[in-house]
Amino acid sequence: MKKPLHKHIGHQARKVHGRVTKYLLERDTMFATVWVFLFIIILGAIPLNLGVINPIKLGLKDFDSNDLSYSKLGKAEHTDIDTNIVIINIGHADREGIAYIIEKTATLEPKVMALDVVFDEARDPSKDSLLRETFKKNKNLVVAVKYQLDSSEKMIVTRNYFKDDAHQYGYVNFPNEDKETTRYFFPLKKTHDTSFTFFSSAILKFYDTVAYKKLIKKGDSKVMINYSRHTNQYLVINADDLLMNNVDSSAIKGKIALLAYVNTNPDDIEDKKFTPMNEKYAGKSHPDMNGIVIHANIISMALENNYIKKLPLWGNMLIAIFVCWLHMSFFVHYYLESHIWFHLVAKIAQVASAIFFMWLGIYLFDKYRLKVDMKMSLVVIVLAVDVIYFYEAWAVWMHKKFNFTTVFKPHHH
């Protein structure tokens, strides 16, 4: 009589379970797992940087599997527009134009205004005077500066000629190189005698003290940015519309008005940075997001309390050890009992596991904003197959020399 389907499935499931667990508690499985990690430590300790000749490693240097969720899986595509924030596109306005735009914005009574533009030196005196007066007049205006070390290695803020005329300023540096993806920021920078506030932190100080305190509590440490919105998920107002009274006052009143250069033309990369929201998640591409939109994302994250939690290193290591142990048990089973299928099964298991663990990382990131580094888990799955061969030789040698008990037999295949 033919078995019913559920019994057939149950039987197969028990078979797979048996293949994974049969050798799970064997001493060899555990030792082989340890050897995988010893290999990683030994390979990591080689003082040569072999990555320089490895195009895959170079290409994936800035890769994070979670970026896939933005570019291919539709994450953040339907996030609601953040009505707390309005971005005012200043276009290529000169200093006089910027002064007018600030004044016009101020008449619509935003709670805080922030200008993401650096002014390196004096230019036209009359236009400079206008901007200086505007900075002095508007107490709720935050201006941009950059921090750097001076010749005596002391941290200073610079790159804004009008800094001393502004009532508030914040630095706009991100802790990444120019061509790297912008993933982190420092809420503040501290030295032994002074501290400087990040641009977004300074804005929050005006707008929401609770959110500000929570952010500033993180101190001088890297905070990961939770990107939730593209440029068009913020209300972007062109300066022309603003100056021609084409803007409803309710859109700005009591809100955060961010003033900066914004454009959605993919060919225009002025003031654009690479972000995880880039359409291309690996390889060469164009920068995709204006700096002010990154600040808007940081502010949204702080206001919505949507910070990303990072699993600590020991947590990632524990996951990698567990994953390695399970895979080793499964591989040892096939290695000893169905060796003819070993390589085929191992390769299929590696691909299936890579897909599964990548999904798990993306799922945890999307659902619980938990960043789990799955790289180590993927590395151990790849190494486990090769280490079995070494381990077999080692176990047999140990057996001959010290009568070490092992499931591996000399020349068993």
Partner 1 sequence: MKKFQFLTLIILSAGIASAQDNSFLLYSFKGNVTVVENKVETKAKVGKTINKAASIKVASGSAVTLICNEAAMFTLTKAGNYPLSQFGDSCHISNNSVSANYVKYVWAQMTNSSGAPGSNRKAYMNTVGAVSRSINNIWIDPRLDTLNYSGGEFPLSWKSYADAKDFEFLLYNVSDISQPIYKTIVSKLKISVPSVAEKMKLGNTYFWTASVKGEENDELKVFNYVTTETFTKVLNNLKSQLSTFEAPAEQAYRIAFMLEDAHYLAEAYQYYTKAASLDSANVLYRSTLMSFKKDYEIK
Q: Identify the burial level of 398 via C-beta atoms within 10 angstroms of its C-beta, where 0-12 means exposed, 13-18 middle and 19 or more buried.
A: middle
Q: Does 180 bind partner 1 (CB under 8 A)?
A: no
Q: Does 285 bind partner 1 (CB under 8 A)?
A: no
Cβ-based nearer residue to partner 1, 311 or 360: 360
**Closest approach of Cβ 249 to partner 1, in Å?**
8
Q: Does 79 bind partner 1 (CB under 8 A)?
A: yes
**Closest approach of Cβ 364 to partner 1, in Å?**
11
**Residue 381 · residue 324 · CB < 8 Å:** yes
Sequence-ordered list of residues with C-beta below 8 angstroms from that of 317, at least 6 positions apart, any chain: 376
Cβ-based nearer residue to partner 1, 157 or 292: 292
Backbone angles phi, psi at 301, to 5 degrees: -60, -45
**Residue 99 · residue 134 · CB < 8 Å:** yes
**Closest approach of Cβ 124 to partner 1, in Å?**
24
**Closest approach of Cβ 371 to partner 1, in Å?**
15
Q: Does 126 bind partner 1 (CB under 8 A)?
A: no
Cβ-based nearer residue to partner 1, 131 or 247: 247
Cα–Cα nearest to 144, from 121, 173, 122? 173
**Closest approach of Cβ 114 to partner 1, in Å?**
18
Among residues 313, 348, 355, 393, the one that binds partner 1 under rule CB under 8 A? 355
Cβ-based nearer residue to partner 1, 82 or 128: 82
Q: Which amino acid does the sequence have at 169?
A: Y
* Count of residues in the chain: 413
CA 87, CA 296: separation in Å to the nearest integer?
Answer: 8
> What CA–CA distances, in Å, run from 310 to 73, 200, 213, 277?
21, 21, 20, 19
Interaction residues for partner 1, span 356-385 (CB under 8 A) = 359, 362-363, 366
Cβ-based nearer residue to partner 1, 326 or 362: 362
Report helix, strand or coil for 141.
Answer: strand
**Closest approach of Cβ 67 to partner 1, in Å?**
12
Size of the site for partner 1 (CB under 8 A): 35
Whose structure tokens read 């003819």? 340
**Closest approach of Cβ 38 to partner 1, in Å?**
33
Residue 121, both tokens:
């030196």
Stretch that binds partner 1, among 44-52, 204-212, 241-249, 383-391 (CB under 8 A): 241-249
Stretch that binds partner 1, among 21-29, 124-132, 261-269, 322-330 (CB under 8 A): 261-269
Cα–Cα nearest to 23, from 302, 365, 391? 391
CA 412, CA 221: separation in Å to the nearest integer?
Answer: 54
Give the dihedral sign, CA 60/291/293/365. positive
Binding site for partner 1 (CB under 8 A): 68-69, 72-75, 78-81, 83, 86, 232, 235-238, 241, 245-248, 250-252, 263-265, 267-268, 355, 359, 362-363, 366
